[in-house]
Structure 1
Amino acid sequence: MTTESPSHAAPTVAPGASYPEDVAVRLRADAAVVVARYPDERSALLPLLHLIQSVDSFVSPRGVAFCADVLGLSRAEVSAVATFYSQYKRKPNGRYTVGVCTNTLCAVMGGDDVYDAVSAHLGLGNDETTPDGVVTLERLECNAACDYAPVVMVNWEFFDNVTPDSAVDLVDRLRDGQAVTASRGPVVQDFRAVSRVLAGFEDGLVDDGPGAGDATLVGLRISREHDWRAPAYPSDATQDEADTADAVGHGDGRTGLHEVGEEQSSSDHAAATPSESTVGQRPDQPVDDDAKADDTKGQAT
């Protein structure tokens, strides 16, 4: 097997470095497009972090500084978000992120064996990258594709019903530089290109490949064969009327609450004395069941 040239490895970003002027100009233009989508500028942070990864392949220190500057945030605020989500990388990522699901259903169907096979073949642990910078291996909790378990994702594109052997073959083809097509999607793009899509910039591939398969649609097919339909919900207007009636309690626009001074309002009753209080025993006092029983008999007589 041949391997990709080391040129695919992410460039080193020195601490304190800033973007070259041409890159900074392009980033600021793209960032302006992203920020304009949100009424509150700081809401654009998540896609901006993906935009940074489309350039650096991870959330670099200079990327953190860029986001903070654009959104008027502190670097600590940006870093707090970037470290919370696993899709944001804090070190250079490979050209392809190969994520193997080992959560419940995938594990039952062999997901752990798939992960172990790829891990041993590449000599990688979780969140580690091959020396050529091509593959980063991840153990994923769920791919949201349980109907095709076990599932591997390459840059978030599905590869269904994998086996240890087919998964090893997949990573070999990626490292050989071959074009690899997802089970339900397009030819897999590299990490930087996909990060740009996640930032909100279309690549024109959204309709390439099937979007769903038989296993995903079997419930819909069976329901149509038997003419099963979900119960109808009340119309919005009917529900609004019911909600209003419950809240108002009157047909004259008054609320269902008793006005101050009105009969049954709190001001219509004298304050209760301690002997009349309905408050029971304190929580830290044991309940005397015999005393309660005697008291009940006395009231009955």
Structure 2
Amino acid sequence: MIENYKFDGSKTIDLKKLPTNSKKDHVNKQKIIQETEANQLKIQSLQEKLYAQGIEGLIIVLQARDAAGKDATIKHVLSGINPQGIDVHSFKQPTHEELAHDFLWRFNKALPRRGKIAIFNRSYYEEVLVVKVHQLYKNYALPQKDKEDNYIQRRYEQINNYEKYLEQNGYRIIKIFLNVSKETQKERFLERIDQPDKNWKFSEADLAERALWDEYTKAYESMVDRTSTKTCPWYVFPADQKWYTRYLVSEVIFKTLKEMDPHYPTISAEQKEHLLSCKEALLSEDGHEKLFKEAVKKEMEKDDPSSSF
């Protein structure tokens, strides 16, 4: 099913024609929820092996409009995973320090060690999204030659090269765009305003960005078209129904981990012999402890004959 939402460079994208809910797929909600739960258990098992083996790393890039459900998706799908084996990074507006470096600097610092999973909640793709829509690069402290009209085009090329570099250095990348409808975004914004426990999630800036819906649509389409490859495709999942979004995300993560095929490390005959020696030492230690306790008990009985009754 996830293949229906996969873009690998062989076709162009038109977001207006893509579904934002499950209706087109004619699925059973209860069955989908059960399959999501089953996927979670499979992901947990594979992640343990990935961490133990320490050969490949997995980077999950999540991009979406506001209120599409990135945080909730991460929290739900990856619940139960060993926290030692996962890093979650939510990238906000770059700091002055980050702007003083190349645009990939802060993301490169956040790369996981091989064997771990990293979630990039927003990512270096913001450079061809918000930076593009607002033309923020024109105010960057860069040489004028680096701020010409082909700035965004060069960013596409640099991103493709960066992902190819990561692929050749032991990393897999899953790129997911959560496709929420304008109507559902409005509903979720109103929910954040009406419910006190969700007020903190809402910002007036969200409305300013919503006003640029069409501009962002074009930016997202260009992002997918210009950076989708056979080895590093985009998955554009419907995001109006959280239960279905979570299922699709769990499917692509499980599928990727299965393809990575991690295994627990095997040990040599010499190492196995050493383990057996350690086992004997531990067992004999328990034996000595038991003999010691029995000797102490006998000594106590000698000193106090009544203790034997």
TM-score, normalised to structure 2's length? Answer: 0.28
Higher relative contact order (CA 8 A, sep 6+): 2
Q: Considering fraction of residues, name the structure with more helix.
A: 2
Q: Considering fraction of residues, name the structure with more strand.
A: 2
Larger radius of gyration: 1
TM-score, normalised to structure 1's length? Answer: 0.29
